[in-house]
Structure 1
Amino acid sequence: MSFLRVSKPVRAGQYLALLAYLVFLAFPFLWLVSTAFKSPRELGDLHPTWIPKDPSLDNFRQAFDEQPLLDAALNSLLAAFSAALIAVLIATPMAFVMARHRSRLTTAATGWVVISQAFPFVLVIIPLFLILKNLHLINSLPGLIMVYVVWSLPFALWMLVGYVRAVPPELEEAAAVDGAGRLRTLVSVTAPLLAPGLVATALFAFITAWNEFFFALVLLKSPEKQTLPVILTHFIGTEGVADLGPLAAAAFLATLPSLVIFSIIQKRITGGMLAGAVKS
């Protein structure tokens, strides 16, 4: 396999490019963490440093004192978890049908799913607002969850179609020979093999809903119902001056759930993918 060999200079260039990319990705987060632990005097320093000279938790205390971060985090958690769960439950049987029964209709539907992701939020916000208003779901978490489900469903469906197609259809045919119906086959045979895909799709839907700002800003008016991304804007004054320390502390806390969830399930996703590759 000599064509796979790469010269040492090329390999060194690849590692250097990878290192530069990792630094590019990590820089905003590391600077955010550094800012969150700096004192107000150090934040005003004309020559900022990476490591805080006098680390302090005052920014975190001030952030919790100024804004209802805990309530907003619970609202975001409820909306994101519910949207991810519902989206996966709806997308799984749809993906099964689209993957196993290919036709012009399913091909067109798959294309529409991909194209729909390019629609800007502004294009749908007015009709969406009117629909939710008629359903009396404005300024309510159920209405926001419904929006998140609809918005994340196309991409979740597109992801799961690929995972379903990777499952050998012979397993489902064997289950049918044993007398299992389509629903039983989906639940007992296909779904366990789709576990890594289901987890990855749910994670995508969760992070999308957790970080979403525009819909939450337009649809939620009561402060006690607002989500965490909307509450973060309250640290910016009317004249556009940001309370940088508390804002950095609150933003740092807002990134933790996604990082923790991903770190917990990362090994399971990778292990499941490798197991599926070995079995196939």
Structure 2
Amino acid sequence: MSTAVPTRARGRRTGGAGRRALGALAVVLALVWVFPIYWMVSSAFLPTNRLRTSEPSFFPVDGTLSNFRRVFSDGTFFDAFRVSLAVTGITLVAAILFAFLAALAVSRFRFRGRKSFIVTILVVQMIPAEGLFISQYRLLDDWGLVNAVLGLTVVYVAAILPFTVWMLRGFVSGVPIELEEAAMCDGLSRTGAFFRITFPLLAPGLVAAGVYGFLQAWNEYTLALVVMTDPEQRTLPLWLQGMVEANKATDWGVIMAGATLISVPVIVFFLLVQKRMSAGLVAGAVKG
């Protein structure tokens, strides 16, 4: 008994040291992850002569808003912002709606070809996006949807839908169907039981799928580069690339200011859905 207490004490000290080491490692990794974002925002407030010096400026002392003024003075920025907002909004609504209905059908109903449909979803995710560029462009060209918001939206929905269906399928399967059956025994219809009992429980899954769809549509570059060849119909990533090509020497202050402004809607979106986002992402990892 006399040696048990010191042994337990040493175990507690060892465990505490291990937790402190893991905490310190987590802080270091967080700083490494946050530093590029900080560098982007900091550089957006620095004048050009400060950015081109051999000594890096880690703090925007005596910063300026001239870089942001130059971005706002470029009328194409607001045009690109409207295009990106329209494409992302329509893509998000369409992808969530179609994916939710497909996940509901696969999880709640047994029909011929159900397993083949699930396998097809997995196979489609394995196809590289670059392998579909030519066929997608020719299809949109035949439909007259090149350089159109609707055309880019169709391509984005097709790219996002497979993974979104697979994600929501796990959430729908994780809600016991017995809850709906109990509500139906209490007098509710199948539709009423679903929307009053099951649908609120699926909100975290819808939020998680919405976060994925929003990020994919807002930040996507290669598909937009193929579909939107008209300079007046560019999305924000294409506009940012155009700012680089428009100058003989890259104006990093303007580029960083533009990148910071592009990041603002993403931050706002996360603030709006943060309450349910964590629960949705964690639940999606264990339900299936």
TM-score (norm 1): 0.87
The residue identity in structure 2 corresponding to 1:236 is V
Residue 42 (structure 1) shift: 0.5
1:85 aligns with 2:93: yes
Which deviates the most, 128-137 or 7-16? 7-16
Residue 165 (structure 1) shift: 1.4
Residue 221 (structure 1) shift: 2.1
Q: Deviations for 1:126-170, whole angstroms, at most 9, x for unmatched residues?
A: 111111111111110001111111111111111111111121211
Q: Which residue of 1 aligns with 2:149?
A: 141
Secondary structure class of the residue paired with 2:245: coil
Q: Which residue of 1 aligns with 2:70?
A: 62
User: Which residues in structure 2 correspond to 1:153-192 (within 5 Å)?
Assistant: 153-177=161-185, 182-192=190-200
Residue 271 (structure 1) shift: 6.6
Q: Which residue of 2 aligns with 1:230?
A: 238
Q: Which residue of 2 aligns with 1:256?
A: 264
Contact residue 39 and residue 54 of structure 1 kept, 8 A: no
Give, in whole Å, the separation in 1 of the partners of 2:102 and 2:57. Answer: 52
1:207 aligns with 2:218: no
Distance 1:106 1:23, change over 3 A: farther
The residue identity in structure 2 corresponding to 1:40 is T
Q: Which residue of 1 aligns with 2:124?
A: 116
Highest Rg: 1 or 2? 2
Which deviates the most, 264-273 or 143-152? 264-273
Secondary structure class of the residue paired with 1:117: helix
Q: Which residue of 2 aligns with 1:99?
A: 107
The residue identity in structure 2 corresponding to 1:123 is G
Distance 1:221 1:155, change over 3 A: same
Give, in whole Å, the separation in 2 of the partners of 1:170 and 1:72. Answer: 48
Identity of aligned residues (%): 35
Residue 86 (structure 1) shift: 0.6
The residue identity in structure 2 corresponding to 1:193 is L
Q: Which residue of 2 aligns with 1:40?
A: 48
The residue identity in structure 1 corresponding to 2:47 is S
Distance 1:121 1:17, change over 3 A: same
Which deviates the most, 63-72 or 20-29? 63-72
1:71 aligns with 2:72: no
2:274 to 235, 258, 266: 266
Which deviates the most, 170-179 or 50-59? 170-179
Q: How many residues align?
A: 272
Distance 1:257 1:63, change over 3 A: same
Contact residue 51 and residue 57 of structure 2 kept, 8 A: no
Give the unaligned 5+ runs of structure 1.
276-280
1:132 aligns with 2:147: no
Q: Deviations for 1:64-103, whole angstroms, at most 9, x for unmatched residues?
A: 2245111211111111111011111111121112122468
1:217 to 214, 218, 225: 225
Which deviates the most, 166-175 or 137-146? 166-175
Give, in whole Å, the separation in 1 of the partners of 2:28 and 2:275. Answer: 25
TM-score (norm 2): 0.85
